[in-house]
Amino acid sequence: MYDCIVVGTGPAGATASYHLAKKGHSVLMLDKAKLPRYKPCGGGVSAVIQEWFDFDFTPAISLKSDRVYCTWEHQESIEVSMGNHPIWMVRRDVFDYFIVQQAVKQGAILKDETEVIDLDYKLDRWIVKTPDGEFHGRYLIGADGAKGVMAKLLGFGKQKKLVAGALEIEIPYQKQDNPHTYFEFGFVKHGYAWNFPKADGFSMGAGVFTSQRKAQSFHKIIEDYASQFNLTLTQATQHGHPIALWNGNQKLHTDNALLAGESACVVDPFTAEGIRPSIFSGLKASEAIHNSISRSSHALEKYSQIMAEEWGREMIWAQRLAQVFYRFPHLGYNVMTKNPKSAITMTKIFNGELSYSQVAQKALKLLMNI
């Protein structure tokens, strides 16, 4: 019997597995995909995540982007330097598998191409059912992403989440003179389009991040946006994927089991950043299970509390900002152009240098007063 079975090896599951294995616990990682696996994602990662690991992420970074450009219908450009905190641009197959390999080095067992189809809880253990047989674990972490089944199988019922939609298009391109990061706010109703550079191409995409849905062709928007960079979609591959945005604090623990990452709906509802919060929740889930194994009382219950206090408290502000910004996007964008500091502030939030709660009240006041 394993101390912990982790279902899903994205940033959340791989992080939890690494930290549990490092503390000497026996860990089984299950993923239905053959690893390394592709995940539709812009691949922009805050460098702050390095602080949560004792190994160097350099081999997993495609390139570092030191400048961000925002536009409204290709105009009204805002330029922000990332200073000493460039954004990491990663290929998710490389990045996620890199963390998985670190977990394996610490002794975690990996079984990919193994889909969890059902669960049972008996006496002192979780029985995890897959087409390849059953696995037994004292603890369980559901980290199976936005399309996962673990929350349902664990009996969490209706979760508080806002399901956003995004389309990502990979454009192969060898030469990268300007590894800059681009956001376009004018063409997508209730969302934005992006162009994130990689060493071997671009990840372009468009997403809607509110409950309002307007008929709009993401493909057409991205095609037009790409033409601004003299890029075509002829050799591009495209992938649609839901995003489970944070929509309120909720219980993330049950009998000897926790939810982490997007299956716990941790994604920032304003920026749609999901990698950093998924890693954060994976880290906190590993600490909770370690504490529970060490007989600390209410350790799993405390995980739900910690996620509410340390992440949810911030997300309340992110959600308020999103509600105002995506409802009146041009007004919101005007605030950014008139107050260039607000764009710098957003990059500082992404870097972990500032928190939403420190700045959001001021930002909301600016948005309300226009």
Ligand X SMILES: Cc1cc2nc3c(=O)[nH]c(=O)nc-3n(C[C@H](O)[C@H](O)[C@H](O)COP(=O)(O)OP(=O)(O)OC[C@H]3O[C@@H](n4cnc5c(N)ncnc54)[C@H](O)[C@@H]3O)c2cc1C
By the criterion CB under 6 A, which residues form the site for ligand X?
7-13, 30-33, 37, 39-45, 115-116, 143-145, 148-149, 166, 168, 205, 241, 243, 261-262, 267, 273-276, 278
In our burial notation (b when 16+ CB lie closer than 10 A, e otherwise), range 42-66 reads bbbbbbbbeeebebebeebbbbebb
Which one, 244 or 335, has the nearer CB to ligand X? 244
Backbone φ and ψ for 69, nearest 5 degrees, come out as -120, 130
Which one, 95 or 317, has the nearer CB to ligand X? 95
133: left (phi over 0), alpha (psi -120 to 50) or beta: left
Nearest to 259 by CA among 283, 285, 277, 280: 285
CA distance 220 to 118: 40
Q: How far is the CB of 217 from ligand X (least distance, A)?
A: 16
Which own/partner pairs from 348-352 qualify as long-range (CB within 8 Å, at least 24 positions apart)? 350/46, 350/87, 350/271, 350/273, 351/46, 351/47, 351/48, 351/82, 351/85, 352/46, 352/48, 352/276
Q: How far is the CB of 51 from ligand X (least distance, A)?
A: 16
Q: How far is the CB of 115 from ligand X (least distance, A)?
A: 4
Q: How far is the CB of 114 from ligand X (least distance, A)?
A: 7
Which one, 83 or 240, has the nearer CB to ligand X? 240
Q: How far is the CB of 122 from ligand X (least distance, A)?
A: 20
Which one, 39 or 138, has the nearer CB to ligand X? 39
Which residue's C-beta sits nearest to ligand X?
274
Which one, 283 or 335, has the nearer CB to ligand X? 283
Which one, 9 or 210, has the nearer CB to ligand X? 9
320: left (phi over 0), alpha (psi -120 to 50) or beta: alpha
Q: How far is the CB of 29 from ligand X (least distance, A)?
A: 9
Pairing state of beta strands 257-259 and 133-142?
Answer: parallel
Helix axes of 329-338 and 356-368: crossing angle, nearest 10 degrees = 110
CA distance 341 to 338: 9
Residue 165, token pair as written in the block? 């939609």
Q: How far is the CB of 134 from ligand X (least distance, A)?
A: 14
Which one, 267 or 336, has the nearer CB to ligand X? 267
